[in-house]
Amino acid sequence: MHKLGMNKKGDAGNIMEDSVSLFIIIVLIVCFFIFAKFYFIFTEKQIDLKIEENSKFSEIDFAAKQIESLTFSINHEIISFSKLARLSKIDSKYGGIFESKLKEINEGEFGVKIKATPYNLIYDNHGDAAYIIIPSSEPIVFEVTKS
Amino acid sequence: MKTNLGVNKKGIFGVLLVFATIMIIGTAFISFNAAKNKISSEIDTPIRLIELNAIKNTFLIYSNDSVNLASQHSYKILFDEINDIFPSSCTTYLNSVIIKDACLIDQNKLENKFLENFNLEYSKLINTYPKPMIDVDKKNILDYQIFPKFETKIQDNILFLESNGQEINISKQTKFMDYTYSINVNPKNSLNLTKEKIFLNDLKNLVMEINSKSKICKIKTTDKELLSCFSEINSDQFTLSPSINIGNILIEIKTKDKFFFIDSSTEKFDNLSFNVAISKA
């Protein structure tokens, strides 16, 4: 009886030791996650992404900017690319004119191809194309790629 | 002996634990650093910079064009809610303000109303910028926010946008790291409203001219003479269509130019108009 009691006491001691070890391990794991989180907070890096405005890093992007600033003379009125794109959505008369202007761009001097794009296609090939987005009730998106 | 062995066991366990801790933290430090540098170098590569620059350019073009469009939308709202820019004491006839000496357009109210509309419309357009455009990662659509920070004022029919730039915050959350890219875009800081065919001063002057003319026209005896009298008012920007309606004169003021505006969620391009009334008595 007495021996059994002593054994019980010994077991209890071992279990306590195991619990302490387990506790320490859990604390260490928690500390590890906290450390990981704080490491990235305190070593935050700021990367300067300034690029010269006239940089010809991307020819397509440059061409897109050129196209966006185009103006067209229609019925003695000077109309910008954006305005013509917006009008083409509202009035079929302008739709025909705009289509012919797009054809001129695609066959012209810019060396790029331009087409209207639904938004969900955009992120599939970003980097190979530049985009012209026309503000509107439903923004109109054009994809500019190398022809 | 038993006790010494127990102490030794505890000691060995403690030393192992310390070693394990150092190993884990060391490995973590090295791997975190490697992960961070990898991301940094990915962003530093020319192709990434081109992409981010393209995002910036695209948004800049959108933002500048939004300034023009928002000014037109605001002009339409101003016409729809024209009664708000007259003194509150004015009376109306068929929902049109009856103009008289005490009921003329208040220039401050006119400009403030236009600016209020503009701020709202501009922010609305900026917030409809298509989200998938900002996908630096290619694999994931990143969460993003645009903060349009600007103050507006009008001077000599020029709209000034005093802006510290618009910030696009692109963020990505991973298990340990939250990446945030901030791109600052500076849209154009002024818009000549005259070039956009928006004439705020002329609108006020026209209403004043109608009021002056009404004093001369009221003495005309026949309706025909009366309408002909009001038709003498000339404006380069607006056309006036007077009509007589049960003892009062209604004048429709319509822009000669067309503007983009949203009507019942549909974009339209048309002339804008509003009515003012003149009491015949």
- What pLDDT digit, counting tens, does each position of A92-145 carry? 889 999 999 999 999 988 889 998 887 766 655 556 788 899 999 888 999 888
Residue of B20, B61, B177 with shortest CB distance to A68:
B61
Rounded to an integer, what distance in angstroms lies between the CA atom of residue A85 and that of residue B13? 74
- Reference B146, options B96, B182, B98, B110; nearest CA is B182
Rounded to an integer, what distance in angstroms lies between the CA atom of residue B33 and that of residue B39? 10
Instruction: Note whether A49 contacts B49, CB cutoff 8 Å.
Output: yes
Rounded to an integer, what distance in angstroms lies between the CA atom of residue A122 and that of residue A129? 9
Annotated domain spans of chain A: 1-45, 59-146
pLDDT at site B185? 77
Residue of B17, B141, B183 with shortest CB distance to A24:
B17
Residues of chain B contacting A84 with CB distance shorter than 8 Å: none
What is the band of A83 on the pLDDT scale with cuts at 50, 70, 90?
very high
Residues of chain B contacting A39 with CB distance shorter than 8 Å: 28-29, 32
**pTM listed for this prediction:** 0.75
pLDDT at site B8? 74
To probe the interface with B, which of A17, A42, A123 has the most B CB atoms within 10 Å?
A123
- What pLDDT digit, counting tens, does each position of B134-172 carry? 555 555 445 566 776 788 899 999 999 887 667 777 666
Rounded to an integer, what distance in angstroms lies between the CA atom of residue B239 and that of residue A99? 34
In chain A, the residue whose alpha carbon lies closest to the alpha carbon of B195 is A78
Q: At what angle do helices A2-42 and B2-44 cross, to 10 degrees?
A: 20
Q: Which residue has the tokens 């002329």?
A: B202
- What pLDDT digit, counting tens, does each position of B26-85 carry? 887 787 777 766 666 666 666 666 777 777 788 888 888 999 999 999 999 999 999 999
Contact call for residues B269 and B260 (beta carbons, < 8 A): yes
User: Which residues on adjacent β-strands are paired with residue B181?
Assistant: B170
- What pLDDT digit, counting tens, does each position of B97-118 carry? 999 998 999 889 999 999 999 9
In three-state secondary structure terms, B61 is: helix
Read off the DSSP letter of residue B260: E
Across chain A, mean pLDDT equals 78
- Of residues A15 and B27, which shows the higher confidence score? B27
Contact call for residues B128 and B66 (beta carbons, < 8 A): no
Annotated domain spans of chain B: 1-44, 46-279
Instruction: Note whether A49 contacts B61, CB cutoff 8 Å.
Output: no
Contact call for residues A139 and A133 (beta carbons, < 8 A): yes
Burial classification of residue A23, based on how many CB atoms lie within 10 Å of its CB (0-12 exposed, 13-18 middle, 19 or more buried): exposed
Query: Which token pair is B63?
Result: 């933002």
Closest CA of chain B from A46, distance in Å:
9
pLDDT at site B38? 67
Rounded to an integer, what distance in angstroms lies between the CA atom of residue A111 and that of residue B51? 20
The C-alpha torsion from B76 through B77 and B80 to B84, rounded to 10°, is -130
Helices (H), chain B: 2-44, 46-80, 107-127, 200-217, 223-230
pLDDT over 70 percentage in chain A? 69
Rounded to an integer, what distance in angstroms lies between the CA atom of residue B261 and that of residue B264? 10
ipTM of the complex in this document: 0.74
pLDDT at site B255? 96
